[in-house]
Amino acid sequence: MRKKFSKIFALMMISIMVFSITGCGADKDKTSKIEKSVERKEWKFKDQADNEVTVKVPVKSMVVLQHHSIDILAQLGAQDKIIGVESKWEADLGSYIKEAFPGIESLPTPGDLKSCNVEEIAKLKPDVVIAASQADPDSINKIKELGIPVVVISLRDEGKQKEAQNPELKDADKAYTNGCKWAIEALGKLTGKDEKAKELWQFCLDSRKIVEKSLEDVSEKDRKTVFIANENNQTYGNDKYVGCMLERAGGVNIAAKDIQGYKPYTFEQLANWNPDVIIVQDRYKEVYDSIIKDSNYKSLKAVKNGNVILAPYWTKPWGNPDADSIALGELWLAHKLYPDKIDSKIVNERAQKFYKEFYGIEFKDKVE
């Protein structure tokens, strides 16, 4: 009886061992299949400063020294790839990014738009570094010498410019539209989020169609003149994205005729332009307060008529576009300039949808 039990027990143990080995083999097969499915391939391309870049995609890690790209990567759901960010990310983007990108506050900040700490970047060992068009060329070259690819993203077509902040473009609207599309698609390819990138760009195009349809009967002579007031008495003139944003929203960038790029203006110039509307980004609240309260501004048409508007952070009326500048900002601005043609309801609906689909969070603002 004991011998029979011993034989049965031995057979059971052999069966368990065979099953375990077979199971491990199956697990290994599954693992190898997963590894094959995310096999990295070499991608060769030119970035937006005309630099030749070679990088294996999808990348596993990246340092992002440009706020537009941080934002787009959050919209694509690629936050987990980012191991370092530009130092002024909160001031540049707004506090919402902390909710859209949990953990961003604890990430290293080895640089900003213009400069970086090459040694700190080397310690992080990223697969790629995303840099702004105004980044220091010497630092970029030093990073490349370490064998780390650098991708310059300007969100603007027409290649490298003599002055990153003050470009001279053949067709600004086309340059920024194509440039933003390329940036979204490139960041999607770098992170393996190609399909999400397509969805994001399509959302942008759909918003533009709504604006175009709503404003199709606004004639050239009826377009409202608009001035963008920024900190340090600076404004966006010709060949900056916000001018294209204004045009698409049915406005005219009144500073464009006298100012090229992003430069200072005088009160005398502003008084001479005397715009219908003045827009101030909400990150420059002190500028808004100054225009509203300073007696020098009282004679301006926009002030007298109560048309000094504070632009919320999510509209991003910047010198270079972000995805939500096109997807939401142009729509919001068209509503503010022509509320009888674009109702606040559609702006709220589009914003809620965008935040849910791309940031994965609730849109907490409300458009009036």
**DSSP line for 75-100:** HHT-GGGEEEEBTTHHHHH-THHHHH
Q: Quick check: is 350 in a domain?
A: yes
Specify whether 214 is located in the same domain as 344: yes
Q: How far apart are CA 220 and CA 218, in angstroms?
A: 7
Specify whether 185 is located in the same domain as 228: no
Does 148 score more than 50 pLDDT? yes
State the residue for tokens 């440039």.
Answer: 179
Tokens at 136, concatenated: 């220091």
- pTM score, whole prediction: 0.88
In the listed set 133, 165, 195, which residue is the last one of a domain according to the structure? 195
CA angle 257, 263, 269 (to 5 degrees): 50
Average confidence (pLDDT) over 203-223: 97
The b/e string for 97-112 (b: 16+ C-beta within 10 A; e otherwise) is beebbeebeebebbbb
Tokens at 41, concatenated: 């391939």
Poorest-confidence range of 164-168, 188-192, 347-351? Answer: 164-168
Tokens at 240, concatenated: 């900056």
Tokens at 259, concatenated: 């100012």
| pLDDT at residue 39, rounded to an integer | 87
Tokens at 189, concatenated: 């390819």
| pLDDT at residue 71, rounded to an integer | 98
Does 248 score more than 90 pLDDT? yes
| pLDDT at residue 333, rounded to an integer | 98
Q: Which domain holds residue 254?
A: 207-359
Q: Quick check: is 366 in a domain?
A: no
Enumerate residues 6+ apart whose C-beta is below 8 A from 243: 172, 236, 237, 253, 256
Q: Quick check: is 302 in a domain?
A: yes
Identity of the residue numbered 345: K
Does 34 score more than 50 pLDDT? no
Specify whether 146 is located in the same domain as 285: no
Relative orientation angle of helices 241-248 and 172-191, to the nearest 10 degrees: 110
How many distinct structural domains can be found in the chain?
Answer: 2
Specify whether 345 is located in the same domain as 228: yes
Q: How far apart are CA 81 and CA 72, in angstroms?
A: 13
State the residue for tokens 């808004």.
Answer: 288
Whole-angstrom CA distances from 186 to 26, 72, 119 are 36, 11, 26
Specify whether 190 is located in the same domain as 50: yes
CATH code of the domain in which 167 resides: 3.40.50.1980
Percent of the chain with pLDDT over 90: 87
Average confidence (pLDDT) over 232-255: 96
In the listed set 131, 160, 195, which residue is the last one of a domain according to the structure? 195
Q: Quick check: is 147 in a domain?
A: yes
The answer to whether residues 151 and 55 touch, using CB atoms and an 8 Å cutoff, is yes
Poorest-confidence range of 35-39, 99-103, 111-115, 202-206? Answer: 35-39
Q: Quick check: is 31 in a domain?
A: no
The answer to whether residues 249 and 347 touch, using CB atoms and an 8 Å cutoff, is no
| pLDDT at residue 95, rounded to an integer | 87
Tokens at 322, concatenated: 């972000």
Average confidence (pLDDT) over 328-334: 98
Specify whether 132 is located in the same domain as 253: no
Strand, coil or helix: 41: strand
Tokens at 62, concatenated: 């990246």
Q: How far apart are CA 241 and CA 1, in angstroms?
A: 89
User: Residue 317: how many CB atoms within 10 A of its CB?
Assistant: 26
| pLDDT at residue 162, rounded to an integer | 84
Nearest to 212 by CA among 317, 61, 312, 342: 342
Q: Quick check: is 156 in a domain?
A: yes
Specify whether 295 is located in the same domain as 342: yes
Average confidence (pLDDT) over 321-326: 97
Does 229 score more than 70 pLDDT? yes
Q: Quick check: is 34 in a domain?
A: no
Specify whether 343 is located in the same domain as 276: yes
| pLDDT at residue 304, rounded to an integer | 96
Specify whether 239 is located in the same domain as 176: no
Average pLDDT over the chain reads: 91
Specify whether 182 is located in the same domain as 295: no
Q: Which residues pair with 251 in a beta bridge?
A: 224
Using the 8-state DSSP alphabet, how is residue 338 labeled?
-
| pLDDT at residue 37, rounded to an integer | 58
Specify whether 152 is located in the same domain as 267: no
In the listed set 166, 195, 224, which residue is the last one of a domain according to the structure? 195
Q: Quick check: is 90 in a domain?
A: yes
Does 346 score more than 90 pLDDT? yes
Does 19 score more than 50 pLDDT? no
Specify whether 191 is located in the same domain as 229: no
